[in-house]
Amino acid sequence: MDAAEFRRRGKEMVDYVADYLENIEQRPVYPDLEPGYLRSLIPNEAPAEPETYEEIMKDVERVIMPGITHWHSPYFYAYFPAASSYPAMLADMLCTAIGCIGFSWAASPACTELETVMMDWLGKMLQLPEHFIAGTHGHGGGVIQGTASEATLMSLLAARCKAVRRVQASNSELPEAEIFSKLVAYTSEQAHSSVERAALIGGVMMRKVPTDNSYAVGGDMLKKMVEEDKAAGLIPFYTCKHTFMCYPNNLLRFLFLPGNKENMWMHIDAAYAGSAFICPEFRPLLNGVEYADSFNFNPHKWLLVNFDCSAMWVKKRADIIGAFKFEPLYLKHENQESGLVTDYRHWQIPLGRRFRSLKLWFVFRMYGLSGLQAHIRKQVGLAKEFESLVRADKRFEICAEVIMGLVCFRLKGSNELNQDLLKRITNGREIHLVPCQLSSRFVLRFAICARTTESRHIQQAWHHITQLTFELLQEPNH
C-alpha cells in the first residue's frame, strides 16, 4: 500500500468506523457463538501471496463483527465503561503514525513532555494536592500507565522496595528474602482482583479487610489487623484503597492513619470513579487523597479517552524511580543528568511506551472541562433514572447506594431466581449485563457505559428486563 492508496483507504476506514458507531444499535450487543467459531472461518496458514484490501474488509464483516461484544452499543451495561470519543480516536491515529517508543526524553521529547504537562492538567482538574503535580515545587508527578492493574503493581513494588530499604537501614544483616516473607499488604474484601494479583506477583502476603454495610472498610478493623500482624513479627507495608464498586465513601475511614505511623504506603485505585472527581459535587469523596503515596484512575473508563490510558500520580518521584532504575549504556542520553528531564521508562514495567498523552490533549481541548463534566453528570443522571425505575417496581430491590453510573439491583428472592433472570437477559442479547456478589447475594450490575446512551435506551432496557421477569415469574417453579 503506497501513500496514495493509504489516503483513499484511510478515508474509507473513517467512513466505516463512523457508520459502525452510528448504527451500532442495530447489531446484537452480545455475540451468539460457540467458542472456537473463528478458526473455521479463516485459513489455517497465513497467505503465501498478498491479498487485496477489499477481501480483508469483506472478512471484517464476515469473520470479526459476528464475534464482537459491542462495548459502545447504548445497550451495553456490563463491567464498567470503555471510554471512547472521536477526538481520542483521531489522536490515536496520529500516535500510531508517529509511532515513537518514548521510553526516554531523548527517544522523543514531545512524547515525554506532553505527558508530564497533561498529567498536571488532569491532576489540577481533579484538584489533587500540589505535591502530586510535577510543575510545582513538590517532589511528585504523573505518568500514564496502560492499566490500573499496572499502576497498583507499580505502587506495590515501589512500596516493597522502600520497606526493604527501611528495614535494612536498621538491620543491614537481614536478607532481602527474609524481609519479603514478612511483608503484609492490606486491601478491602471488596477490592478488585488486580490488587490481589499485584501481591501475588510481588510475592507478598495480602490481607483482606472486612467491609461494613456500605461496603467500606472501617479504620478500626484495619488497625486491629495491623496490630495483630505486628505482634506476630510481620511487617505491614502497603494498603490499597479502591473504588471498585464506586463506593469511595470517605477515604479517611480507610486511611485511618496508623498507616502513617507504620510507614505503610497508601495507594488509591479509583479506576472507574476517578473521572467523576472532576465535578466539584463528587470531589469530597476523594478527601483524604492528600495522605496517599500514589493515586490512580482510568481516563480510559469514563473520561472519553479510548483505551489505554491509566493516570497515576506519586507523591515522591524518587520512590518509584529509585525502585526500578536500570541504566544500560544504549539507553543513556546526554540530557539525563541535567535534572530537567523525565525518563518514563523508570516509572513502568515495560521499556516501550506509546504517545498516549496525545489522546488526553485532543480530548481535553475539544471537550473542555465543562464538556467532560457534562458527560459525567449525564451518565450519573441516567443511572439515577434506572434506579427510579427499579425502585418503583416492588418485585425488585436496589442493593447499594447509587452514587455514580452503576446500579446494583436484584429481584427480591433467591440467588437462583436472579441467576435465571440474568441467563434470560444474556440469551436475549438485547442488552448486556454482568453480575457481582454482594454479601453472598447474587446481584445484577447495570453500568451506564456507552457515550451515546440516552434515556430512551434506559427505558427500553428496563422494559426488556421487566418483560423477561414477567415470563420468569410465570413459570411454576418460581
Q: Could you tell me whether strands 294-297 and 265-269 are parallel, antiparallel, or unpaired per DSSP bridges?
A: parallel
Q: End-to-end distance of the chain based on CA atoms, in angstroms? A: 61
Stretch of 14-22, 196-204, 240-248, 423-431 contacting ligand PLP, by CB under 6 A: 240-248
Contact 89, 306 (CB under 8 A): yes
Binding of ligand PLP by 188 (CB under 6 A): no
Nearer to ligand PLP, 182 or 353 (CB): 353
Q: How far apart are CB 432 and ligand PLP at their closest, in Å?
A: 15
Nearer to ligand PLP, 310 or 348 (CB): 310
Among residues 80 and 282, whose Cβ is nearest to ligand PLP? 80
* Shorter beta-carbon distance to ligand PLP: residue 240 or 321: 240
Is 298 among the residues that bind ligand PLP (CB under 6 A)? yes
Give min distance, CB of 20 to ligand PLP, in A. 23
- Nearer Cβ to ligand PLP (149/469): 149
List alpha helices for 60-192, DSSP H. Answer: 86-98, 109-125, 148-170, 176-182
Q: At its nearest, how many Å lie between ligand PLP and the CB of residue 93?
A: 22
Q: Quick one: which of 30, 75, 237, 244 contacts ligand PLP (CB under 6 A)?
A: 244
Q: In what order do the strands lie in the sheet with 406-411?
A: 396-398, 406-411, 441-447, 434-438
Instruction: Answer for the pair 134, 142: CB distance below 8 angstroms, yes or no.
Output: yes
User: H helices within 313-451, ranges in order?
Assistant: 317-324, 357-391, 415-428
The kind and range of the H/E element at 21 are helix 3-22
Rounded CA-CA distance 246/404 in Å is 7
Applying CB under 6 A, does 293 fall inside the site for ligand PLP? no
Select from 85, 98, 175, 142 the least CA-distant residue to 342: 142
- Does 73 sit near ligand PLP (CB under 6 A)? no
Q: Is residue 267 near ligand PLP by the rule CB under 6 A?
A: no
Among residues 156, 235, 271, 402, the one that binds ligand PLP under rule CB under 6 A? 271
Judged by CB, which is closer to ligand PLP: 108, or 275? Answer: 275
Q: What is the residue whose three cell numbers read 487523597?
A: 289
**Comparison of 136 and 147: residue with beta carbon closer to ligand PLP:** 147
Residue from 30, 77, 80, 247 in contact with ligand PLP (CB under 6 A): 80
Q: Where are the beta strands (DSSP E) in 126-258?
A: 141-145, 183-188, 205-209, 235-242
- The yes or no reply on residue 272 touching ligand PLP (CB under 6 A) is yes
Site membership for ligand PLP, residue 310 (CB under 6 A):
yes
- Residue 149 or 342: the one with the smaller Cβ distance to ligand PLP is 149
**Number of C-beta neighbours around residue 193 at 10 A:** 10
Q: Are strands 310-314 and 141-145 parallel, antiparallel or unpaired?
A: antiparallel
Instruction: Tell me, by CB under 6 A, how many residues bind ligand PLP.
Output: 14
Could you say whether residue 194 binds ligand PLP (CB under 6 A)?
yes
30 interacts with ligand PLP by CB under 6 A? no
Nearer to ligand PLP, 108 or 298 (CB): 298
Three-state secondary structure along 78-112?
CCCCCCCCHHHHHHHHHHHHHCCCCCCCCCCHHHH
Q: Which of 84, 112, 149, 188 binds ligand PLP (CB under 6 A)?
A: 149
C-beta of 243 vs 348, nearer to ligand PLP: 243
Considering only 160, 182, 192, 207, the residue that binds ligand PLP (CB under 6 A) is 192
Q: DSSP state, 403? A: -
In the complex, the smallest distance separating the C-beta of residue 156 from ligand PLP, rounded to whole angstroms, is 13
Q: Tell me if 345 contacts ligand PLP by CB under 6 A.
A: no
Strands (DSSP E) found in 214-368:
235-242, 265-269, 294-297, 310-314
275 touches ligand PLP (CB under 6 A): no
* Under 8 Å between Cβ of 372 and 360: no
Would you give the DSSP letter of residue 63? I
Q: Does 147 bind ligand PLP (CB under 6 A)?
A: yes
- The reply to whether 148 sits near ligand PLP by the rule CB under 6 A is yes
Q: Min. distance of Cβ 145 from ligand PLP in angstroms?
A: 8
Q: For residue 236, give the nearest of 175, 162, 172, 295 by alpha carbon.
A: 162
Query: Residue written as cell 501471496?
Result: 49
Q: How far is the CB of 1 from ligand PLP (least distance, A)?
A: 33
The footprint of ligand PLP (CB under 6 A) covers 80, 147-149, 192, 194, 242-244, 269, 271-272, 298, 310
